[in-house]
Each structure stands twice: as C-alpha cells, then as structure tokens.
Amino acid sequence: MERQVALVTGASSGIGEQTALELLRRGFTVYGAARRADRMTPLVDAGGHAIAMDVTDDASVRAAVDRITAEQGRIDVLVNNAGYGSYGALEDVPIDEARRQFEVNVFGLARITQLVLPGMRARRSGTIVNISSIGGRIYEPLGAWYHSTKFAVEGLSDSLRVELEPHGIRVVVIQPGAIRTEWNGISRRSAVERSGATAYAAQARALVRALEAADRSSAATEPHVVAATIAKAATARRPRTRYATPFSAKFIVGLRRMLPDRVFDLVIHRVFAPTKADLAAGEAHSAEGRSSDGERVAA
Ligand SMILES: NC(=O)c1ccc[n+]([C@@H]2O[C@H](COP(=O)([O-])OP(=O)(O)OC[C@H]3O[C@@H](n4cnc5c(N)ncnc54)[C@H](OP(=O)(O)O)[C@@H]3O)[C@@H](O)[C@H]2O)c1
C-alpha cells in the first residue's frame, strides 16, 4: 500500500513538531512547514521533509503545496496547526496586530486548505485537521483577538465539514488545553507589551500569572499527548468531529456547555482576579488611558 502523505504546519515547535514526528512513526510521508526551517532538523533526521513557509504569504504557501504535489502526487492529511496567541486589552491592541492574528490563525489556515482541496476532491478522499483550542469555546479577559480567531476556526471547520462530506473529505477539530510549548511565553509577552503599562495593567499581571501557572509542570500537558490525538483523528476511519485533549480540556469545554454565561463569567473572574499587589501596580497606569503602540515593559 502507498504511504499516506501528510502536511503539518507549525512543525518547528510544540504540537506541530510532535505531530509531524508521530505521523512519521505511523508510516506517513511527512512534510513539516514553518518559517524557521532550521528548527525542523529533528524531523529531517527522522526521515521527514522540512519546508520554509509563512502561512501569511501566498507565494510561499503555494510553493510548498506545489512541491509536495510534484514530489508525492498528493496530500492525504493536512494538519493546520500554525498559530500564536496575541493578548492584550482590546483597547490597547493596534488593529494591525489584530489583523495579523487573523492572518496567521484563520486566513493562513484557509489559504493552505484552498490549495490542498482540489487534489483531495479529485481523489474523493482526505482529512483536514484544524487545531483550534479550548479557547475556541471559552474566553479570557485580554484575550479578545486570540479567542476570536479560535472561535472562527470552530465555525469555519463546522461549515467546511458539511461542505466537504459529499466530496469524501473529513474535517476534524482539535481543542488542546494548556500544553507546554512556546505558545505560553509568546502569549504572556504580548499581554505585557500591549497592556503592561495601561489602564489594564492589573488585569495583565493577573493574566500573566494565570498563564504562568498553567505552564507549570503539574498543570501543563506535554505536546506529544496532543500529537497522539491528532494522529488518531487523522487515521480514524470515522473520526469524531471534535477532540478536546487532555481530559482537563474536555472537562472545561463540558463545563462551559453546561453553565450560563453569567455563571461562567464568575469562574473566569475568579481565575483571573488581580491581587492587591496587581491593583496597586496597575493604579499607576489607570489614569494614563491608551498605551503607545508597541511600548515594552519588563515581564
Ligand atoms: N500550547 C497551548 O497551550 C495551546 C493550547 C490550545 C491551542 N494551541 C494551538 O496549537 C497550535 C500550535 O501551537 P503550540 O502550542 O505548538 O505553539 P508553538 O510552540 O509556539 O508553535 C507554533 C508553531 O506555529 C508556527 N507559526 C507561527 N506563525 C507562523 C506563520 N506566520 N507561518 C508559519 N508558521 C507559523 C511556528 O513556527 P515558526 O515560528 O517557525 O514559523 C511554530 O512552529 C496553535 O494554533 C495554538 O494556538 C496551543
């Protein structure tokens, strides 16, 4: 039997890197794609292929899909994983950064999908695995843009699933919880950069503390756990529409489904409550209003 061909975006780190390696172990021919191609040597050493690609750049996405099609004749599994967390109060985040967050997390995913679909449709088979988040179901203060993108991935994937079913193509959503990768540090830094010295400073400090806590060894899950779920979804004859992983993620998504908005708000307020020290530190900035774009403060 011919080896199945997989393309994994965001394979230079975290969930994507582990997914590419896991699919390789399961017998796939694997192409990993990311901007930092030099960071994909573990994949290349294990027998995979690394492609330099920026999901926001049409030409580089097209070149990647063309190369795989030329070398392998097809792509059977597309794992849309590339993404990052852009945090900060809505008032503080420049709209250009909000657009960039959507460019990477939503339009990047859609751009690759558009280019991979003609081949899948022609063969009447294929699986698209979209990496959402529990953040595609729940929400955090100072997370408006990140959550907007993940809610968008959820809606996009539902439409796509029913749109592509008649063409023999499966669409699956993965909702990871807190996973120990570069994501957490990038998200924390963005919150501090945007809102660390504005009227939202106390909330930014509380958010950073909650994210730090989620990243600590006992709370966070290693990315290979998500990779195993993605591989399971990619190889299942009839995959579920959604996989929340690990179990704590399933619990949080279930809780959100059960609780009315105002009650869930109370849970969120409790988790992200600023301490007295946060409030005192934030006091200094409360009268300042909007920060200047890109202002950096120490984390
Ligand atoms: N970690 C978590 O707690 C968590 C929870 C829920 C969902 N997720 C989601 O899981 C996915 C993977 O994140 P991760 O946790 O593995 O974080 P990560 O370690 O930071 O990895 C993110 C990957 O995305 C790639 N990427 C970012 N911008 C890109 C661009 N413009 N073009 C191409 N690739 C780009 C990065 O590669 P380059 O920088 O080399 O391009 C990197 O390989 C993301 O969609 C994230 O939102 C993460």
- Asked if the structure places residue 60 within a domain, the reply is yes
Is the residue at 115 inside a domain?
A: yes
pLDDT in tens, 2-36: 899 999 999 999 999 999 999 999 999 999 999 99
7 C-alpha to ligand 1 centroid (Å): 15
In a domain, 34, yes or no: yes
Q: What is the distance of C-alpha 3 from the center of its chain?
A: 27
- Which residues pair with residue 80 across a beta bridge? 130
Residue 296: per-residue pLDDT? 35
Q: Is 132 a catalytic residue?
A: yes
Asked whether residue 289 is domain-assigned, the answer is: no
Residue 41 pLDDT: 98
The predicted model gives 191-204 an average pLDDT of: 98
Check: CB of residue 152 under 8 Å from CB of residue 102. yes
Q: Mind listing the pLDDT tens digit for each residue in 156-176?
A: 999 999 999 999 999 999 999
Give the C-alpha separation, 129 to 231, whole Å.
9
Average pLDDT estimate for 265-277 = 96
Among residues 155, 82, 147, the alpha carbon closest in space to that of 112 is found at 82
Counting the structural domains of the chain, the total is 1
Q: pTM to 2 decimals?
A: 0.95
Q: Which residue has the tokens 């529990």?
A: 134
Q: Is the pLDDT of residue 231 over 80?
A: yes
CATH number, residue 17: 3.40.50.720
Residue 217 confidence (pLDDT): 81
Q: Which domain holds residue 232?
A: 5-183+221-259
d(CA 166, CA 176): 28
Query: Is 219 near ligand 1, meaning CB less than 6 Å away?
Result: no
Pocket test for ligand 1, best of 35, 79, 242 (most atoms within 8 A of CB): 35
Position 241 in a domain: yes
Percent of the chain with pLDDT over 70: 95
Q: Which helix (H) or strand (E) holds 9?
A: strand 5-9
β-partners of residue 244 are 175
264 in any annotated domain: no
Residue 175 lies in a domain: yes
| Ligand 1 centroid to residue 13 C-alpha, Å | 7
